[in-house]
Each structure stands twice: as C-alpha cells, then as structure tokens.
C-alpha cells in the first residue's frame, strides 16, 4: 500500500470510529448529525415522487438515525461496477433523476447544510459526495445513492463535476489502476462524454475548470470542518488530504490539453 493509500485508509478508519454504522438486517443505524432532519425531509420528498433510489428515512431515536437498508454493492466494490459504459451511464441517469425530483423541494425551516449552498441558475439540491462508493450497485447498474451528509442547494454541475473526478477518473494513471482498479488506462475523455450525455441537458462547460474548482471547494470545506475539530475531517487534514488535492489539481492542469473538452449535455 502506498503512503497516500495508507493515509486514506486511516481516514476511512477515523470515519468508522467517529460515526459508526450498524447494518442489518433491514435497517441502517448511525449517529444523527445536525443536518439529519434536513436530509430526511429531502429523502421523503424524492421518494414521494416515486423514486426508490434514495434510502427510506425511518426517523431518529435516541440520537440514532435510522434508514431502510438497500441491498447491493457499495463502498470499495463500487469501483468495479462503474468500469463499463453501462455502469457509468446508469450512475449519471440516476443522479439526474434525483436532481430533477429535488428541484421543487422546500427545505424545512431552520434547514442545516454541512456543505455551503452554491448560488447559481437552475439550482437543485445536490448530494455533495456522489462518488462510486456512495452508489448502490447491482450487476453494473447504479440503483441507489446513499450517504447524504453533504446535501446542499447548488447548480447541477456541482455534483456532476465532483462525480467526473472519480468516475472518469480525472486522476493519474497510477490512481486509475491502483485505486480505481481499471485493468488498463481508461479513455477519460470518452468516459466524461458518456457520463455527461447520459445525464443530459447540461450547459456547455470546460471539464478541467469545473473539476479543479470543485476539488478546491471540497478542500475548503474539509479545512473548515477540521478547524472546528470535526471528525473525520480533522484526521483527513492531519494525514495530508489538502496536499494530495493540490497534487491532483496540478496533475489535471498538466494534462489540460489531453483532458480539455467543451462538453454539451
């Protein structure tokens, strides 16, 4: 395991330690956060539209959040299911359906956002962390999106840019092989195009610019939470997450000519 991967594993362990999740057989239980009631309101709204691709909230009891368990592959297993164009496109379509369903949601009075709202036209309610690990997968199809801790109002591109970093991935060849488990170097431009076309209806945007801007916003939020002593962000920062983000931005910028693609959704 590389030094960077070892740091990431420590961060995962810190997350499990400070917000332990108990699964089974039909219910997921974990400590509630200040944003839990806001998240549950959004999940109920989306499900009322007939979408079962988000968890069913079962309430909060004794400071413990309860959600209906959705069976399937998630976490590290998610990397493998999205290698195919089928898996890649299914995640994009699912994300689009949730964004569409969220657009007319009215947040509750006193809504709490962990991630800062982002101003812009055609704002929806973004997941904030739509990487392959937070999708539920069955047979190379994304069937649900879980872990809505970073829910916030923002333009659709906020989530799309985040997803492209991890799905394309807009990361080094070493990361594509060792972290994402691709058997060879993926055609990043083609994968970006597949994701964006499956999502559909996006304004034209420059991939390098929106993805690097999104990495910077993630780094800023992580630092803000770490400065408040919040885990696991405090551990992530201590283990060099910010420095790794700078390195990843530099890699993307160094490959601008290769990655630049004016995308029309």
User: Is there a contact between 115 and 151 (Cβ–Cβ < 8 Å)?
Assistant: yes
Provide the pLDDT for residue 19: 59
Distance CA 88, CA 84 (A): 6
CA–CA separation, 149 and 91 (whole Å): 19
DSSP 56: P
243 confidence band (pLDDT: 50, 70, 90): very high
Structure tokens at 76: 């590290």
Chain-centroid distance of CA 153 in Å reads 14
Tokens of residue 218, six digits: 């993630």
How are beta strands 141-145 and 22-23 bridged, if at all? unpaired
Range of the domain at 62: 3-263
- In our burial notation (b when 16+ CB lie closer than 10 A, e otherwise), range 102-126 reads beebebeeebebbbeebeeeebbbb
Of 5-9, 180-184, 196-200, the least confident: 5-9
Across residues 200-215, what is the average pLDDT? Answer: 94
**155 close to 121: Cβ distance less than 8 angstroms:** yes
pLDDT band at 24 (very low <50, low <70, confident <90, very high): confident
Q: Which helix (H) or strand (E) holds 144?
A: strand 141-145
Domain CATH for 55: 1.10.510.10
Query: Quick check: 34 pLDDT over 60?
Result: yes
Angle, in degrees to the nearest 10, between helices 85-102 and 36-48: 100
Distance CA(40)–CA(112), nearest Å, equals 11
The predicted model gives 107-113 an average pLDDT of 96
CA–CA dist 229, 86 (Å, integer):
41
- How many CA atoms does the CB half-sphere of 246 hold within 13 Å? 5
Q: How many domains does the chain contain in total?
A: 1
Return the pLDDT at 258.
Answer: 81
Burial of 62 (0-12, 13-18, 19+ CB in 10 A): exposed
Question: Rounded to whole angstroms, how far apart are CA atoms 4 and 185?
Answer: 20
């Amino acid at each position: 395991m590389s030094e960077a991967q070892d740091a990431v594993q420590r961060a995962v362990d810190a997350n499990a330690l400070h917000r332990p999740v108990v699964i089974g057989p039909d219910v997921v239980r974990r400590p509630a956060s200040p944003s839990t009631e806001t998240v549950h309101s959004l999940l109920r709204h989306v499900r009322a539209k007939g979408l079962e691709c988000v968890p069913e909230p079962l309430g909060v009891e004794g400071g413990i959040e309860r959600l209906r368990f959705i069976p399937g592959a998630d976490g590290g297993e998610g990397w493998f299911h999205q290698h195919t164009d089928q898996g890649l496109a299914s995640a994009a379509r699912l994300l689009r359906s949730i964004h569409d369903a969220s657009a007319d949601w009215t947040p509750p009075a006193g809504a709490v956002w962990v991630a800062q709202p982002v101003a812009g036209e055609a704002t929806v309610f973004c997941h904030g962390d739509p990487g392959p690990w937070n999708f539920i997968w069955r047979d190379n199809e994304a069937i649900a999106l879980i872990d809505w801790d970073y829910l916030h109002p923002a333009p659709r591109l906020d989530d799309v840019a985040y997803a492209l970093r991890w799905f394309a991935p807009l990361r080094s060849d070493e990361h594509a092989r060792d972290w994402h488990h691709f058997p060879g170097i993926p055609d990043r431009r083609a994968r970006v195009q597949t994701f964006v076309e499956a999502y559909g209806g996006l304004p034209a945007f420059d991939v390098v610019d929106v993805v690097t801007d999104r990495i910077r916003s993630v780094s800023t939020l992580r630092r803000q939470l770490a400065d408040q002593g919040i885990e696991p962000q405090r551990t992530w920062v201590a283990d060099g997450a910010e420095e790794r983000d700078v390195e990843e931005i530099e890699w993307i910028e160094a490959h601008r000519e290769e990655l630049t693609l004016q995308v029309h959704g």
